[in-house]
Amino acid sequence: MSEITNMIDEKLKTSVFDFLAKETLPTLKETIDKFVEKLKQKAEISSGWVKFRDGSLLPFAINTSYAIIKLLVENVIINFTRSADIKL
């Protein structure tokens, strides 16, 4: 019974990681790209601090945060699949 539970747990983990990598991250990236584009459009009609913030600072911070999240998720998936000998 324990082996069956472990197999189900491993399959569930694999499914979750697969969903994160193939569905969630691309959807998040699309949303981020649209938001950043709107920020940059707003920056074009702004001046001073708001222009810098919306045109450079926030897009950089948002894209960097996404890159870190993607890297973490990918590393978790790689480490999990190595430790469980599972191929996604």
Domain region containing 16: 2-84
| Number of domains present in the structure of the chain | 1
pLDDT at 60 (0 to 100): 98
Query: What is this structure's pTM?
Result: 0.75
> Quick one: DSSP state of residue 56?
I
Q: What is the pLDDT along the chain (88 residues), one digit of tens a residue?
A: 666 666 667 778 778 888 888 899 999 999 999 999 999 999 999 999 999 999 999 999 999 999 999 998 888 877 776 665 555 4
> Quick one: DSSP state of residue 88?
-
